[in-house]
Structure 1
């Protein structure tokens, strides 16, 4: 058995692994244990009653976090002409067409969001094997294939995050930083949970939200009492 780190020993001594916390209790406790020298990300994990191997049980969407993410989102945009200029004016980090495609094929993929105008999808499509595995492929259902690239850039920069269920039926995402106020973190968590619940697929049977946990980047995960999760 692997030895526990000093931090893990402290957590084991002070925390009850079986306790169910309210969201507010969890946030207060997480901050007490978030002692790293950097501003830790507060993360949420939701275990859902879905099997994403079936198309009618896929859960995916976008949500704008009211208090933002606390992260500088890097955004790339495929566009030409006036749309390219609008994307740059809105704050896009990189804008281009074939030149941007070549850059990404060369391995320059340090972006959090990739947006494209519909007419650019012929170019973007060649990057399927590169962008797909990273979850960066523009998608009209997520608002990342759009003529209004300026608005798409603005909402991405303002704190819009994407969520997508993984193989084991789990969705996880950052919902802010340790330095955020508890009130702002609570707003973000409520918005994220609400978006996931509203994205319940037709193929989901039985209980949809099965477990919820909140943690910091380097801290322990705390189980949330579903009675405190609106709509669960």
Structure 2
């Protein structure tokens, strides 16, 4: 515990927790402090002026990060016939119908993203209590229910990131790895912020985007000047 406390204290040195840093400086600070033995994920936390308990203040969407996520994404697709063939050709890791439902009900959830053709949704609906809490339920609003399964698979594999506001009005999303260049991370961060801004709900009042902070998996958070991350 003492070693952990010292490491945390050391990582916080040189960071003014009250200061709002320009995004370029903030990313540099985060990269410098990503000292884990693995390639840490760089994460963004956005505090929004919304109350997601109200339907007209829910924020949800998907963004295609220009430089990808740096993560290998396993994709499962519910499809039959030609659409199943298209999904496989596009690189889907798991493709099925009733057999995939049975596998998931049996606890075999070996994937990070779930896509379905519209005609499969009555079948997929049986898995709402399993996939929903894990954020894996296909949804047309984020492009995971689509007749273009090939496009959806390629998007998921290529850096598409779903975001959804949590109960406290915060969005968390990974935007790359600490090994990415500063410019690549900034481009990804700006793409996410822009997507969240464009998803502003009709019920939002007052200041919509209140705070932005970035951190690595094991590093300290760095507050970012919101005006510096608008694309």
TM-score computed with the length of structure 1 as normaliser: 0.96
TM-score computed with the length of structure 2 as normaliser: 0.96
CA-CA distance at 1:193 after TM superposition: 0.3
Check if 1:80 corresponds to 2:49: no
Determine the C-alpha separation between the residues in 1 that align with 2:78 and 2:12. Answer: 49
Q: Which runs of 5+ in 2 are unaligned?
A: none
What does residue 69 of structure 2 align with? 69
Check if 1:122 corresponds to 2:122: yes
What does residue 178 of structure 1 align with? 178
CA-CA distance at 1:110 after TM superposition: 2.6
**What is the number of residues matched between the two proteins?**
230
What does residue 219 of structure 1 align with? 219
Check if 1:10 corresponds to 2:18: no
Superposed CA RMSD: 1.3
Trace 1:37-76 onto structure 2 (pairs within 5 A).
37-76=37-76
CA-CA distance at 1:12 after TM superposition: 4.0
Instruction: Please give the per-residue CA displacement for 1:33-86, whole angstroms capped at 9, x wherever unaligned.
Output: 111110000010000000000000000000000000000111000001111011
Q: Which runs of 5+ in 1 are unaligned?
A: none
What does residue 166 of structure 1 align with? 166
What does residue 152 of structure 1 align with? 152
Determine the C-alpha separation between the residues in 1 that align with 2:121 and 2:224. Answer: 42
Instruction: Please give the per-residue CA displacement for 1:113-132, whole angstroms capped at 9, x wherever unaligned.
Output: 11111111111011011011
4+ residue stretches of structure 1 with deviation over 3 A? none
Match of 2:88, SS state, is helix
CA-CA distance at 1:15 after TM superposition: 2.1
| Most deviating of 4-13 and 127-136 | 4-13
Match of 1:5, SS state, is helix
CA-CA distance at 1:11 after TM superposition: 3.1
Check if 1:113 corresponds to 2:113: yes
What does residue 140 of structure 1 align with? 140
Trace 1:17-32 onto structure 2 (pairs within 5 A).
17-32=17-32
What does residue 210 of structure 2 align with? 210
Match of 1:14, SS state, is coil
CA-CA distance at 1:140 after TM superposition: 1.4
| Most deviating of 131-140 and 2-11 | 2-11
